[in-house]
């Protein structure tokens, strides 16, 4: 993302110059603070916007409503952010045990993560990869046997990222989207895909 500078723009877009760190390779990841809640919540709509119109808008709308409730995750998850030049450009919620997610179908004792978001103007700078790598490192440090994640096929960037980092499909833990976010529509066949990364 070289060439972008942080600026206020009439359309409220965020333009970011991605500063490379000689040790970390990119801006440092840190735990979220109370004052970050609104900035984290503001990441989700821009992050999901490119996927609209692909037949899953009802699910994306329901998912967005869940995602922006950052406070509900702050007490049960380790929420990490990537900040560059005072601007939050990415975030993820890591769960030491997936049962803390509330609806996960993964076995108790697995670690999990969700609510991964990268602002569109920071895509391509390794933000998402670094956040998932942080979750992998935390899961290993805690002795979890496996790190699990659910996503949907429409979020193809996320699917590619997870596969590229060594996650594999585990369809026995797939979920019906309508069971998580009841839609009242006929689109009940959408599947939430399960992926796992074994750590031992």
Residue 78 lies in a domain: yes
- Is pLDDT at 75 greater than 70 in this prediction? yes
Number of domains in the chain: 1
CATH of the domain at 102: 3.40.630.30
More confident residue, 3 or 139: 139
pLDDT in tens, 149-185: 999 888 899 999 999 999 999 999 999 887 777 765 5
* Nearest partner of 112 among 84, 145, 90, 158, judged by Cα: 145
Residue 65 lies in a domain: yes
- 12 falls in which pLDDT band (50, 70, 90)? very low
Measured CA to CA, the distance from residue 95 to residue 101 in angstroms comes to 7
- Is pLDDT at 26 greater than 60 in this prediction? no
* Nearest partner of 136 among 147, 150, 151, 149, judged by Cα: 147
- Residue range(s) defining the domain that contains residue 55: 29-143
Averaged pLDDT for residues 109-134:
95
Averaged pLDDT for residues 37-63:
86
- Is pLDDT at 118 greater than 90 in this prediction? yes
Residue 122 lies in a domain: yes
Contact 181, 173 (CB under 8 A): no
């Amino acid at each position: 993302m070289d060439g972008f500078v942080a600026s206020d723009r009439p359309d409220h877009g965020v333009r970011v110059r991605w500063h490379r760190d000689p040790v970390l390779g990119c801006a440092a990841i840190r735990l979220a603070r109370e004052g970050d809640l609104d900035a984290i919540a503001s990441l989700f709509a821009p992050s999901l916007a490119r996927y609209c119109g692909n037949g899953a808008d009802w699910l994306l709308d329901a998912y967005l409503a869940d995602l922006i409730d950052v406070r509900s995750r702050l007490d049960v998850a380790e929420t990490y952010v990537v900040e560059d030049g005072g601007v939050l450009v990415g975030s993820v919620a890591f769960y030491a045990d997936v049962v803390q997610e509330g609806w996960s179908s993964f076995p108790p004792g697995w670690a999990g993560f969700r609510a991964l978001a990268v602002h569109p103007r920071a895509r391509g700078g390794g933000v998402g990869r670094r956040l998932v790598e942080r979750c992998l490192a935390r899961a290993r440090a805690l002795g979890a046997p496996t790190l699990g994640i659910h996503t949907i096929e429409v979020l193809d960037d996320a699917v590619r990222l997870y596969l590229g980092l060594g996650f594999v499909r585990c369809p026995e833990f797939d979920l019906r989207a309508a069971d998580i976010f009841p839609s009242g529509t006929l689109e009940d066949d959408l599947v939430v895909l399960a992926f796992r990364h074994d750590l031992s």
